[in-house]
Amino acid sequence: MAKILVVDDSQTQVQAIIKILNKNGHETITAEDGDSAVAVARDELPDLILMDVVMPGLNGFQATRHITKTEGTQHIPVIMLSSKDQETDKVWAERQGASGYIIKPASEDELMSAINKLL
């Protein structure tokens, strides 16, 4: 069982992801924007982060860059989970340090496959 941080400003999206993660035996913690994601990652040291892109305050790209480039949290893999489906978005996510990029809505199989590769 892993502790997974779910970051999204949509509570509907968060609840759907939590349901999948809990069903697959993972513990979840949440943050609703990039700023709180950085703080929760630092304080809780999750095993993996699922990060939305479009959020108020720090967006997902900025939060991912901060988490993956900061000593203490740089070991935490981040999977971007976004409705932004352009190849440039995927490339930019990778440049920010993301370990994966999934387009919403993600199927349970797709989500768990990406998570299991990184844990």
CATH architecture of 3-112: 3-Layer(aba) Sandwich (3.40)
Determine contact, residues 37/48, Cβ cutoff 8 Å.
no
- Please write down the long-range contacts of 23-30, taking CB distance under 8 Å and 24 or more positions apart: 23/108, 24/112, 25/1, 26/1, 26/2, 26/115, 27/1, 27/2, 27/3, 28/3, 28/4, 29/3, 29/4, 29/5, 30/5, 30/6
Do 39 and 10 form a contact (C-beta atoms < 8 A)?
no
Q: Please list the pLDDT of the chain residue by residue as tens digits (119 residues).
A: 999 999 999 999 999 999 999 999 999 999 999 999 999 999 999 999 999 999 999 999 999 999 999 999 999 999 999 999 999 999 999 999 999 999 999 999 999 999 999 99
Round to whole Å and give the CA distance between 30 and 12: 13
Measure the CA angle with vertex 116, ends 115 and 118; round to 5°.
70
According to the model, what pLDDT value does residue 7 have?
98
The helix/strand/coil state of 15 is helix
Domain boundaries, the chain: 3-112
Whole-prediction pTM: 0.97
**Tokens linked to 22:** 């809990």
pLDDT score for 47: 98
Please report the pLDDT score of residue 73 as a whole number: 98
Which residues on adjacent β-strands are paired with residue 3? 27
**pLDDT confidence of residue 36:** 97
